[in-house]
Amino acid sequence: MRPEELVYSLTYGGEPAGRQIIQSFLEGGRLVVRITAEFRGPLTQGREVRKVQTSYLDPRTNLPVRYTETLEVERSRRESQEYVFDRREGLLRQAVGRHRHTSPLVEDLYDPAATLHFLRSGLVPERIYYLWQLAGPVGVKVEKAVEVEGPWGKLLAYPMLITPGPEMVWIEADSDHRPLRFLRRIQVRLLEGVLQHTGRAVQRPRPEEPSPQRRRHRSPHPRPHRPRPSAGERAKTQLHVPQKEKE
């Protein structure tokens, strides 16, 4: 797959509330789906809050292998948690701060980022799907395609109702299946995200190649082959000491 980056503007109760970035790319044989949300405004009472959710999926099964989540408030206080889906041992290993916990693993368990990837997998309309998330079971009802308007113009999308929540996500009907818009109730208001533009995901830089100045200059003409001297010849050369001539 080609790396992808989707950027969304966020509003909370109609007021600007930050932005969200969804990145998808391959790394180390895993499919990585990363959701980075930068909240501000009335949603966070004026504070800057940054939440990063990263899922590492097996590209053969599209099931998560590892999930991490970090939360930063005002770039100082930080909370983190990690989940490892050990399907060989049938265990879910959880680490929250210094605390460690192990529990039985439900076979098809999804984290939030892996759930978003599942919604983009080409679900059949007018059907209901059931998933088991880290927070519990959820249902996904896929409705008929409707026309959705945004900065990208008018596109056909499948409305998907996720319960409990509730939450609505509009997934593009085209082959890219991009999430075009989502609505989520937080407290008494609605958090809305609208896709603004699409780009390439930023990946880790590759190891730096040596500069041309450090590269050895190779002549286009090969050097003549010189046979290596034998051990005895090397010994004679090393032990040969010229004698002074007698006066």
d(CA 80, CA 98): 10
Q: Is residue 23 part of a domain?
A: yes
d(CA 41, CA 165): 22
pLDDT digits (tens, 9 = 90+) for 36-66: 999 998 888 888 999 999 999 999 999 999 9
Q: Is residue 121 part of a domain?
A: yes
**Closest of 144, 110, 140 to residue 128, by C-alpha:** 140
* Amino acid residing at 103: S
Higher pLDDT, 241 or 83: 83
**Closest of 136, 132, 164 to residue 64, by C-alpha:** 132
Q: What CATH number is given to the structural domain containing 172?
A: 2.50.20
Q: Is residue 243 part of a domain?
A: no
**Taking the complete model, does pTM exceed 0.75, yes or no?**
yes
Give me the number of domains the chain comprises: 1
Q: Is residue 81 part of a domain?
A: yes
pLDDT digits (tens, 9 = 90+) for 2-25: 899 999 999 999 999 999 999 999
> Phi, psi (5° rounding) for residue 87?
-75, -20
Mean pLDDT across the stretch 124-144?
94
Task: For residue 133, give Cα distances in angstroms to 56, 69, 145, 164.
Answer: 15, 15, 26, 11
